[in-house]
C-alpha cells in the first residue's frame, strides 16, 4: 500500500525525516545568504542543480544550470549588499517530502546606497541526499530588475 504520492506506507517516518531535513537545509540556506557566505551556501546545492526564474528580465538569466553558474550569479548579487535581512521566511511542506514551498521577504541595504525590498515565493526540490536539485523562484520583478546593475559586480 502507498500514500497519495507513491511512498510505501511503512516509509512515512522516512518521508517525515526527509521533509524535516529539507526544511533545516532551507533554514541554513537563508541564514548563509544573510551572512553573505555564498561559498558555504553553494554546498547546499547538488552539483547538477538548476534554477528557473520565470519573471527574470534584462540581464538576469531565466535559467541557471550547475553549481558554478548559480554560485557566480549569487556571489555577484551578494557583493552589492552591505546588509541582507529577511523580514519574513515561511516554509510550507508539500505532499512530496522532497519538495518545499517557501515564501520570503528580503530587505537589502545596497552598497551603492538605498534599500531594496521585495517579496518572493519559490519551490525547492531536493535530491536523495538533501541537496537542492532544482529551485523555481517567483519574485516581484518590479524593483529587482531596476536594481540588478546596482547589486551585481559583473562588468557592464
Distances (CA, A) of 19 to 14, 55, 96, 134, 139: 9, 28, 8, 16, 24
pTM for this entry: 0.84
Over the stretch 135-144, which tens digit does the pLDDT of each residue have? 999 988 776 5
Beta-carbon contacts of residue 86 (< 8 Å; ≥ 6 apart) = 30, 34, 104, 105, 106, 107
Over the stretch 86-133, which tens digit does the pLDDT of each residue have? 999 999 999 999 999 999 999 999 998 989 899 999 999 999 999 999
- Confirm if 88 and 99 have CB atoms less than 8 A apart: no
**In this model, does residue 7 exceed pLDDT 60?**
no
> Residue 15: enclosing H or E segment and its boundaries?
helix 12-35
In terms of Cα–Cα distance, which of 71, 59, 54, 48 is closest to 136? 54
Whole-number pLDDT of residue 21 = 96
In terms of Cα–Cα distance, which of 45, 38, 37, 40 is closest to 67? 45
Whole-number pLDDT of residue 9 = 45
Whole-number pLDDT of residue 107 = 95
Mean pLDDT of the 28-46 span: 98
Percent pLDDT > 90 in the chain is: 72
Chain centroid to Cα 121, Å, comes to 9
Mean pLDDT of the 38-48 span: 98
**125/135 Cα distance (integer angstroms):** 6
**18/143 Cα distance (integer angstroms):** 35
Amino acid at each position: 500500500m502507498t500514500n497519495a504520492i507513491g511512498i510505501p506506507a511503512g516509509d512515512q517516518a522516512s518521508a517525515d525525516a526527509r521533509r524535516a531535513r529539507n526544511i533545516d537545509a532551507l533554514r541554513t540556506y537563508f541564514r548563509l545568504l544573510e551572512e553573505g557566505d555564498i561559498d558555504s551556501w553553494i554546498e547546499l546545492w547538488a552539483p547538477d542543480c538548476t534554477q528557473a526564474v520565470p519573471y527574470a528580465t534584462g540581464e538576469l538569466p531565466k535559467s541557471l544550470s550547475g553549481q558554478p553558474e548559480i554560485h557566480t550569479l549569487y556571489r555577484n548579487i551578494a557583493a552589492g549588499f552591505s546588509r541582507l535581512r529577511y523580514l519574513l521566511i515561511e516554509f510550507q511542506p508539500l505532499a512530496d517530502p522532497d519538495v518545499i514551498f517557501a515564501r520570503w521577504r528580503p530587505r537589502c541595504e545596497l552598497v551603492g546606497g538605498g534599500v531594496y525590498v521585495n517579496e518572493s515565493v519559490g519551490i525547492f526540490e531536493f535530491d536523495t541526499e538533501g541537496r537542492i536539485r532544482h529551485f523555481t523562484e517567483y519574485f516581484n520583478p518590479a524593483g529587482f530588475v531596476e536594481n540588478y546593475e546596482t547589486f551585481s559586480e559583473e562588468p557592464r
